[in-house]
Amino acid sequence: MKTSFLVPSLLALALVAGGCQQKFASPYQFDEYRASIAASNANRKQAIDECVKDSSTTGLSPSEKKFIAVIMGLKPETAAPVICTRFINGIASGQLTYNDLAALARR
């Protein structure tokens, strides 16, 4: 990952990962969730939809959300679906792990 995209990527992950910490209280729950969204496109779509819905309650101001969108090269109105799609696909593919999310939650 390019350094110039590191900060916005971390901010974007923080945007969606905040709500996930409660959902994934243990590595076992995370693994079950990952397996579910990896095995079914319907489950993955539902997870993305839930992520978009949850991203509206992150505690970030509209200007902070707009800033994240702009530095990621996204339109503010499409940022949440794009970020959530990347996030959920990262979990499904194994590129994002329970430890990654736990480390993000500690920041």
Structure tokens, 94: 């194994």
Q: Which domain holds residue 53?
A: 3-106
d(CA 93, CA 34): 8
Amino acid at 78: T
pLDDT in tens, the chain (107 residues): 444 445 555 556 555 555 555 567 789 999 999 999 999 999 999 999 988 888 776 667 788 778 888 888 888 888 888 888 988 999 999 998 988 887 776 66
Torsion of CA 77, 37, 97, 24, to 10 degrees: 90
Q: Return the pLDDT at 22.
A: 58
Q: Return the pLDDT at 82.
A: 86
Domain count, the chain: 1
Handedness of CA 83, 59, 100, 38 (dihedral sign): negative
